[in-house]
Amino acid sequence: MSGTAPPRVVIVGAGPAGIRAAATLVEAGLHPVVVDEGHRAGGQIYRRPPDGFTRTPEQLYGSEAAKARALHGLFDGLATEGRLTHHLGSSVIAVHEGRLHVLGEGGLQLVSYDRLILATGASDRVAPVPGWQSAGVYSLGAAQIALKAQGVALGRRIVLVGSGPLLTLVGAQLVKAGADVAAVLDTSPWNQQMRGFSRLAARPVVALRGLILRARLGRRYYAGVTLERIEADASGVTALRWRDAGGREQLTPCDMIGMGWHLRAETHLADLVGCAFAYDEQWRQWLPKADEMGRGGNGVYLAGDGVRLLGADGAEIAGRLAAAACLADLGYPAPAISADLHKLKRLERFARGLATAFPWPEAMARTLPNDVIVCRCENVTAGSIRESVERGGGEANRVKSLSRVGMGRCQGRFCQLAAVELVAAKAGCTTEAVGRFRGQAPVRPAPIAAFLREG
């Protein structure tokens, strides 16, 4: 390869997957370009507070502090030594003909690539609850980010709802930090949780840690609840109405509600570069197709929660594997992969156990009353989504153009999964048959001025 410029590999995302991918490429002698929305590398789970904050990684990340320290140190070292280029505070808003359109503080710039590694992560998978448009309703991830990166609770009296590992974790973290957590309400009943339990034994330490965290919640924790309605006044949330597993009506006064049912993969860029997608019945969402190494085709590689929802440990492994695949395809010596592939399979067994134990509340989404807002961006209701199915049939993009669900500024990230359940129920077809909203550039809002050039 002497005499030719080294291949340009660009990584989108500087969480656990992106950092491991970058380090693997650097070890092979390449100089990767890393584009990330954060101001400091770490991603969401290992997100760092701004300069001047004083809590230690042990205080911020608990049992995962050593992993966070290692990743932050690794990335900062490579950046300081000039062995990678870091575009921080920058969003990729479009991809076209081998070039990323990157919007940062200095405006829009084009970044070309020979190979692209997408490590775009995930956000909370949320489902509409009547009244969830009110001020004071947040995702579970938001509650955790507020605590980790800002040292604050988003309300004086907090109720957390949903299902999955983050529900317990955020609850325990807030309690430990001194927040007033009134209740932690899990929509998964005990018998459902037991169904996933055998596969959770694939990671006994992690499973045990989860049980210990849950024990810390004590009598705040309820399994098998039904969420009825968020009450609000002119300044925001005032209470949550719910039913316990025995069907008894409960009213819990609160001014903040955090919600989430595990994770939703961030796939807009994979869509724009033309990756194929497949519907995953267990995770109840569309995911980009990739081989076990993360090859998505056309020089694109996928790693982390943006392609398979395995969490941070899985993301680190997937980042290494995607970089190894990229190196092999470029004709570079690639690191050994068999141990990583083996570990990844074990993590996938565990993750699928979690998906069984803490499922997406499909029935809740399908039976939402007509007046309930499904799209928080533009207040599109369940009724208008059902009406659009009557007019245009049960195809996702038809419903999107008729009802505007998924056309708001979040581009369907927080309404799509509930909306397609509603459409499937109304049209009498499977959720897979409804399809998925097509991604459209720009995948983040961009000011018109960013596209204007002088001269």
* Residues engaged in binding other proteins (CB under 8 A): 37, 44, 49-55, 89, 91, 123-124, 133-139, 141-142, 145-147, 150-156, 177-179, 232, 234-236, 255-256, 266, 373, 376-379, 408-410, 413-414, 444-445, 447, 449
Sign of CA dihedral 53, 55, 56, 58: negative
Shortest reach from residue 324's CB to other proteins, in Å: 28
Distance CA 242, CA 228 (A): 5
Closest CA to 314 of 287, 345, 285, 335: 345
Distance CA 345, CA 59 (A): 31
Half-sphere exposure of 324 (CA within 13 A, CB side): 20
Taking CA atoms, 62 is separated from 16, 59, 145, 172, 336, in Å, by 17, 6, 14, 11, 31
Shortest reach from residue 51's CB to other proteins, in Å: 7
Distance CA 284, CA 59 (A): 34
Check residue 38 and report its DSSP letter.
S
Smaller CB separation from other proteins, 230 or 324: 230
Distance CA 386, CA 425 (A): 9
Closest CA to 352 of 196, 163, 224, 206: 196
Shortest reach from residue 256's CB to other proteins, in Å: 7
CA 10 to chain centre: 21
Identify whether the C-beta of residue 309 lies closer than 8 Å to the C-beta of residue 265: yes
Shortest reach from residue 344's CB to other proteins, in Å: 25
Shortest reach from residue 1's CB to other proteins, in Å: 38
Smaller CB separation from other proteins, 262 or 413: 413
Smaller CB separation from other proteins, 5 or 449: 449
Shortest reach from residue 267's CB to other proteins, in Å: 12
Tokens of 326: 């990229």
Smaller CB separation from other proteins, 149 or 184: 149
Smaller CB separation from other proteins, 344 or 418: 418
State phi, psi for 75 to the nearest 5 degrees: -65, -45
Smaller CB separation from other proteins, 115 or 264: 264
Smaller CB separation from other proteins, 24 or 91: 91
Smaller CB separation from other proteins, 53 or 197: 53
Shortest reach from residue 49's CB to other proteins, in Å: 7
Shortest reach from residue 305's CB to other proteins, in Å: 12
